């Protein structure tokens, strides 16, 4: 990274006129109500927050580290979601877009990541009420209270937030009255190591280990063709990678596919198949079931990775001492779909309440624990559950779920709707539940059907 040049620029307000009725949780006038609400992250949840704040007539700024909105999604642009458009478009955003003549896609079709960005997020970010307040290529370094570190309590709630960012090689700060951290977890994957520990050997082999969703049938075809490839994980993302590799294998028959998972038996990964309420997700399980039965995919389970090292012919995967056949040799490439974890570095100077197990917002933990819940059994929640010890600071979206893979995009939309209402003192609306989902949740899939894009989803079990 280039050295950061020091700039004294501080942006305090750059959005629609404020609503003079803003109140804090004690019913007092907010002394910082001339400042904007800062949204960290330009993905679906961050932009939905912008739409809801626009609806409320509230000033905001949106800070996105990438070169455009939806930058993380474009890393899996070839992915098709399980969920149809109707679950992927925020209601406030939809209404705002229609005011500008936007034509909604067929709400019953399944979008790819690229379509989600091009047909929804980009148009939303470009409308007049939002575009001037979106700052791309702006990486947040840290957030604090003005001239107040984490230890100081006196007067804390009345001081504005200060956001330190790197922009165009320089340091720029922004002031805000409230923060919605929608930065997600996508850029912070879990390692292949079954203990969740990053070891130097694995980090050193990153040129041959892909964390996430490679475009196996597209721009990265040469990387995997006729190679011995190990896929680590048992969720939908791992299955999608396996399906792509199997299709690649039809053209490049020397391609070898290993499927490494911790589950006691491979059948546990197939899901409901034809009984699944979401047909696309059921088709995913049925297709991988067929590939395993045909012998095109070699299943290695239960297997817990202890270490990955360099060998004479590629990489060597070493299992824990109790694993049978604990060493897998001559592996050329590894695709890791072991989920993601939140990075709390930027909020280390704020007072937060984080569950020690899920690394989610603490009050969410019992609602989303994947040991107890699937996507469809997580009940709707809003401002009250997401409230932090640091007043007017909220973690939303996938990051609010920490390591739990049960997050749904529509759930994130409900989060920011509730918080936006609370920020203007409309607590009745904030407490009201306005979320309608199928009981089984909504996820992502790689259909591999005629006229269907090569697809996948986030590395979570529930998709976006």
Look at residues 66, 81, 49 and name the one whose alpha carbon lies nearest to residue 408.
81
- Mean pLDDT calculated for residue range 173-185: 97
- Give pLDDT, residue 445: 39
Q: What is the pTM of this model?
A: 0.86
Q: How far is the C-alpha of 110 from the C-alpha of 258, rounded, in Å?
A: 29
Sorting pLDDT into bands at 50, 70 and 90, what band is 278?
low
CA end-to-end span of the chain: 31
Instruction: Write out the DSSP string of 231-256.
Output: EE-SSHHHHHHHHHHHHHHHHSTT-E
Please tell me the least confidently modeled range out of 168-172, 310-314, 389-393, 447-451: 447-451
**CA angle at 103 for the pair 100 and 106, rounded to the nearest 5°:** 150
Contact 41, 71 (CB under 8 A): no
Q: How far is the C-alpha of 26 from the C-alpha of 7, rounded, in Å?
A: 36
Relative to beta strand 256-260, strand 161-167 is unpaired
Q: How far is the C-alpha of 419 from the C-alpha of 55, rounded, in Å?
A: 13
Please report the domains of the chain, with CATH numbers, ordered by start residue. Answer: 5-187+340-445 (3.50.50.60), 200-336 (3.50.50.60)
Q: How many residues does the chain have?
A: 464
Torsional sign, CA 451, 457, 463, 464: negative
DSSP 352: -
Relative to beta strand 60-63, strand 393-395 is unpaired
Q: Which residues pair with 211 in a beta bridge?
A: 336
- Which two tokens mark 201? 């050997």
- Mean pLDDT calculated for residue range 415-436: 92
Look at residues 433, 386, 410 and name the one whose alpha carbon lies nearest to residue 90.
410
Count CB atoms within 10 A of the CB of residue 31: 14
- Give pLDDT, residue 351: 97
Sorting pLDDT into bands at 50, 70 and 90, what band is 408?
confident
Evaluate if residue 356 carries a pLDDT over 90: yes
User: Tell me: the pLDDT tens digits for 99-138?
Assistant: 999 999 999 999 999 999 999 999 999 999 999 999 999 9
User: Tell me: the pLDDT tens digits for 6-36?
Assistant: 444 555 545 444 333 344 444 444 577 889 9
Alpha helices in 154-278 (DSSP H): 200-204, 221-224, 236-251
User: Tell me: the pLDDT tens digits for 198-215?
Assistant: 999 999 999 999 999 899
Evaluate if residue 407 carries a pLDDT over 60: yes
Evaluate if residue 289 carries a pLDDT over 50: yes
Q: How far is the C-alpha of 398 from the C-alpha of 385, rounded, in Å?
A: 15
- Mean pLDDT calculated for residue range 236-247: 89
Give the residue with greater pLDDT, 462 vs 208: 208
Give the residue with greater pLDDT, 297 vs 265: 297
Burial class (CB in 10 A: 0-12, 13-18, 19+), 106: exposed
Residue 283's SS3 state is: helix
Averaged pLDDT of the chain: 85
């Amino acid at each position: 990274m280039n050295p950061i040049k020091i700039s004294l620029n501080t942006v305090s307000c750059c959005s629609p006129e404020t609503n003079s009725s803003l109140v804090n949780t004690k019913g007092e006038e907010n002394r910082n109500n001339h400042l904007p609400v800062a949204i960290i992250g330009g993905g679906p949840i961050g932009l939905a927050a912008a739409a809801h704040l626009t609806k409320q007539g509230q000033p905001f700024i949106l800070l996105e580290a990438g070169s455009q909105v939806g930058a993380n999604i474009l890393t899996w642009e070839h992915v098709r979601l399980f969920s149809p458009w109707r679950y992927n478009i925020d209601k406030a955003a939809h209404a705002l877009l229609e005011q500008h003549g936007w034509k909604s896609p067929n709400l019953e079709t399944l979008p790819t990541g690229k379509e989600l960005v091009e047909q929804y997020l980009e148009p939303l970010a470009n409308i007049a009420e939002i575009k001037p307040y979106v700052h791309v290529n702006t990486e947040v370094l840290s957030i604090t209270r003005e001239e107040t570190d984490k230890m100081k309590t006196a007067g804390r709630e009345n001081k504005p937030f200060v956001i330190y960012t790197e922009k165009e090689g320089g340091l720029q700060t922004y002031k805000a009255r409230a923060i919605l951290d929608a930065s997600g977890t996508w850029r912070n994957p879990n390692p292949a190591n079954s203990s969740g520990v990053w070891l130097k050997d694995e980090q050193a082999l990153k040129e041959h280990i892909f964390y996430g969703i490679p475009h196996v049938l597209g721009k990265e075809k040469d990387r995997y063709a006729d190679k011995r490839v190990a896929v680590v994980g048992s969720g939908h993302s791992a299955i999608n990678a396996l399906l792509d590799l199997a299709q690649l294998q039809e053209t490049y028959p020397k391609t070898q596919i290993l499927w490494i998972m911790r589950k006691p038996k491979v059948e546990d990964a197939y899901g409901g198949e034809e009984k699944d309420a979401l047909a696309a997700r059921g088709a995913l399980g049925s297709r991988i079931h067929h590939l395993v039965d045909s012998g095109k995919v070699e299943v290695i389970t239960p297997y817990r990775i202890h270490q990955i090292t360099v060998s004479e012919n590629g990489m060597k995967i070493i299992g824990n001492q109790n694993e049978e056949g604990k060493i897998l040799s001559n592996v050329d490439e590894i695709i890791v779909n072991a989920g993601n974890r939140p990075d709390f570095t930027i909020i280390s100077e704020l007072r937060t309440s984080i569950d020690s197990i899920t690394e989610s917002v603490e009050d969410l933990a019992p609602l989303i624990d994947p040991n107890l819940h699937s996507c469809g059994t997580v009940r709707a929640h809003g401002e009250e559950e997401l409230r932090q010890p640091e007043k007017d600071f909220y973690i939303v979206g996938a990051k609010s779920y920490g390591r739990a893979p049960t997050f749904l995009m529509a759930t994130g939309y409900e989060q920011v709707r509730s918080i936006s209402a609370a920020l203007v003192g409309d607590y009745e609306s904030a407490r009201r539940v306005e979320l309608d989902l199928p009981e089984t949740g909504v996820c992502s899939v790689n259909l591999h059907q005629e006229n269907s894009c090569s697809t996948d989803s986030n590395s979570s079990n529930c998709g976006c």
